[in-house]
Amino acid sequence: CDREIAERYHATFAPYFYIFSPCDFDAYDTIAQEDIQRDVFFIGEEKGDRRARIDAITKVLDQAGLTHELRLVPQNRHHGLFHHHRPASASYMPYAVVQERVRTSRAILELISDGQTGLTQRSFEALFLRKKLITTSSEVKSYDFYHPQNVFVLGERPLEELPDFLHSPFHPIAPEIVKQYTLAGWLQHFSRA
């Protein structure tokens, strides 16, 4: 699901899919503007240069009077396959709460890890939940759901344009494009190969 890795190992590239795609996302069409509680939401591990990136974005959002919830979670230092007992942490957020935060936000921030080129689940949350995406991944522009009115690629546009981007309307994406990124669409990709 990472184009560069697929090329390096001569493997067929297969875009990732939204792991929660069997849900009824049409219900999110009905969210009213008054239900929006923040302009930008982010949650992710504190690693690499994320703190510096978030500080720069926070400054622009604050200057523009935009609301945000940008959470950095301490990196999980536990190794091994089974983590049944996650330590209690004020920064931990169950995924159901993350989905609710996304649902009540105007945009999602996606910060790709160093060395990664493939998209994260944040891109697919934005696609399925019809939210704007602010991302560090220029790879998103090669996907058929990309639209500059919906996706702001950091580093390619000045941060000062972020307020206008957030206040512009969301450009609808055709349902047949969205369906490609469901689990069923992902499996069909392999049956055609």
**Does residue 166 carry a pLDDT above 90?**
yes
**Does residue 31 carry a pLDDT above 60?**
no
**Does residue 117 carry a pLDDT above 90?**
no
pTM flag (> 0.85): no
**Does residue 69 carry a pLDDT above 70?**
yes
Higher pLDDT, 59 or 113: 59
**Does residue 161 carry a pLDDT above 70?**
yes
Average pLDDT of the segment spanning 83-89: 44
Q: SS3 letters for the chain?
A: CCHHHHHHCCCCCCCCCCCCCCCCHHHHHHCCHHHCCEEEEEEEECCCCHHHHHHHHHHHHHHCCCCEEEEEECCCCCCCCCCCCCCCCCCCCCHHHHHHHHHCEEEEEECCCCCCCCCCHHHHHHHHHCCEEEECCHHHHHCCCCCCCCEEEECCECHHHHHHHHHCCCCCCCHHHHHCCCHHHHHHHHHHC
Average pLDDT of the segment spanning 53-58: 91
What average pLDDT does the structure give for the chain? 80
pLDDT for 87 equals: 45
pLDDT for 84 equals: 42
